Amino acid sequence: MAGLSNKLGNHASKVGDFMNKIEKLGIAFANAFPVWVLAGAGLALWEPATANWFKPTWIPLFLSIIMLSMGLTLEAGDFLRILKIPVSVLVGLSLHYLIMPLLGYALSKAFHLPVDYMIGMVLVSSVPAGTASNVVCYIARINLALSVTLTTCSTLLGVIMTPLLATWMIESLAQNMIGISVKVDTLGIFIETFQIVILPVAAGILLNHYVPGLVRKVAAYTPFLAVLSIVFIVDSILAAKRQAILNGGSQLILAIAALHALGFFLGYLFSKLFALGERDARTISVEVGMQNSGLATELARHNFPAFGLATVPGAISALTHCIVGCVVAGLCRLFPHTSEPIELQEQVES
């Protein structure tokens, strides 16, 4: 009997070790998200057939997977972090919904973007921060707790801010730049944003509260599923709009590159002007500069069907902010803040 117990114990130990290795592999794959996004995009542009299997109508489902992944990492008590760092959270949210929309508006005019690209550009600049920003902050060894808090709060606030900002900017730019009237279904954007963002996040929080054991078992794999979802969405758009991008996308690429680069830079600059610490300023820089480009793509597809190329800016944005984010993460690791190692460990443990 003792021998059987030992064998069962050894077998359980081996299974446990194997699962731990699988979990670590899943985390490593998730942290390499820029590699998957860039490789997938290059493949989609080179051979569109590799991405054409993904149907546009699947985008809301895969966006919901991304949002559910965020929700599974949250507990009701996590929102108490806002009370611990109210100034940093307030500054970060304010800069996110001021800097990016104003940049989107100004760059659309400066680059004289066609109406399709202008709509997509405005939507990219109006959406919340993307979950990819949390990965960048983790790699950069900056304030991960603040990053998650800002992503969550900007996501919840985006249900109101995104429809209002997008409506104002699209209608104003269309009238001023090309003299046409583009009516925006503000309520439609609000409803879709609520369905895609709030419901999955709330479901994730509830699952984490009521079935924490199950959530702990799948938590190591959900980040990689979120990364795959982003890759599938971006690649499908690039493959479908390949010819338009190759023929005349240079102007749009420059505009979006400027949007994200300036977002990172101004997010950091204004954070320092508000006398925030170095770690928080770097974190807010990432949260301002990285958008939920997948959400922007879906809002363009569903709410502006008459403007077929409005989905392209979201796909290009996803590539661009990954590249800029990786550069920023590299600089943060090259020039670390002196107290980062201890603080990072505290964040990860919490």
Same domain, 101 and 202: yes
Same domain, 24 and 119: no
One pLDDT digit (tens) per residue for the chain, 350 residues: 555 555 545 544 554 565 566 667 766 776 677 778 788 888 988 999 888 899 888 988 888 888 888 788 777 776 777 777 889 999 999 999 999 999 999 999 999 999 999 999 999 999 999 888 887 887 788 888 888 889 989 998 999 999 999 999 998 888 876 666 677 788 888 888 888 888 888 898 899 889 988 888 887 777 778 778 888 888 888 888 888 777 767 899 999 999 999 999 999 999 999 999 999 999 999 999 999 998 999 999 999 988 889 999 998 998 899 888 888 888 888 888 765 443 433 444 34
Residues 6 or more apart in contact with residue 44 via CB below 8 angstroms: 50, 51, 234, 235, 236, 238, 239, 242
Secondary structure class of 291 (helix, strand, coil): strand
Same domain, 2 and 60: no
Same domain, 5 and 81: no
Same domain, 280 and 331: yes
Same domain, 19 and 126: no
Burial of 80 per CB tally in 10 Å (0-12, 13-18, 19+): exposed
Same domain, 128 and 13: no
Same domain, 304 and 158: yes
The residue with tokens 């997977």 is 65
Q: What's this model's pTM, rounded to 2 decimal places?
A: 0.83
With the CA atoms of 70, 76, 79 and 84 taken in that order, what torsion angle do they form, in degrees rounded to the nearest 10? -130
Rg of the chain over all Cα atoms, to the nearest angstrom = 21
19: left (phi over 0), alpha (psi -120 to 50) or beta: alpha
User: Which is nearest to 81 in space by CA: 321, 263, 283, 336?
Assistant: 283
- The CATH number covering residue 129 comes to 1.20.1530.20
Q: Which domain holds residue 220?
A: 34-349
What domain count does the chain have?
Answer: 2
Q: Could you count the other beta carbons within 10 Å of the beta carbon of residue 296?
A: 30
